[in-house]
Amino acid sequence: MNEIDASQNVTVLELLDRVLNKGVVVAGDITISVADIDLLYLGVKLLLCSVETMEQHKEKAESVIGGQEDA
């Protein structure tokens, strides 16, 4: 891999990390009203994130969805 390719890869990885893991998170009670979107979102997380990060998100989403079912 030449230096330009490597540099482009780094930039894409940095972009993915920021867009998926950083930024404003709009607090739960409005977004979770469409629970299946959380599941769709998990799909892309599975695709792009590390297993460890994925597990954290999965736990969060499960607790959110569980909370909804309880309600």
Partner 1 sequence: MPDERMLTCMYAIVDYSAKRLNMKPLYPVTYKDIAAIVETTCKERLIFDRQAVIEYGAALDVLNETFTLLPCRFGTFLQDEKAVLQVLREHYVFYKKKLEELRDKQEFGLKILSEKSIQVHSENNKKQSKDGKEYLLQKFYEYREDEEQKQVNQKVVDVIHEELQKLSSMSVKNAEISGHVVFSGNYLVGKKAESFFCSKVEALQRMYPELKFLLTGPWPPYNFVAEKS
**61 lies in the binding site for partner 1 (CB under 8 A):** no
Going from the C-alpha of 47 to that of each of 33, 50, 54, 70, 71, the distances in angstroms are 24, 9, 9, 29, 31
User: For residues 11-50, which are near partner 1 according to CB under 8 A?
Assistant: 11-12, 14-16, 18-27, 30-31, 33-34, 37, 40-41, 43-44, 47-48
Considering only CA atoms, which of 52, 44, 56 is closest in space to residue 19?
A: 44
- Look-up of token digits 């569980």: 66
Give the nearer residue to partner 1 in terms of CB position, either 19 or 67. Answer: 19
The C-alpha atoms of residue 23 and residue 52 are separated, in whole angstroms, by: 20
Q: Is 9 in the site for partner 1 (CB under 8 A)?
A: no
List contacts with partner 1 (CB under 8 A). 7, 10-12, 14-16, 18-27, 30-31, 33-34, 37, 40-41, 43-44, 47-48
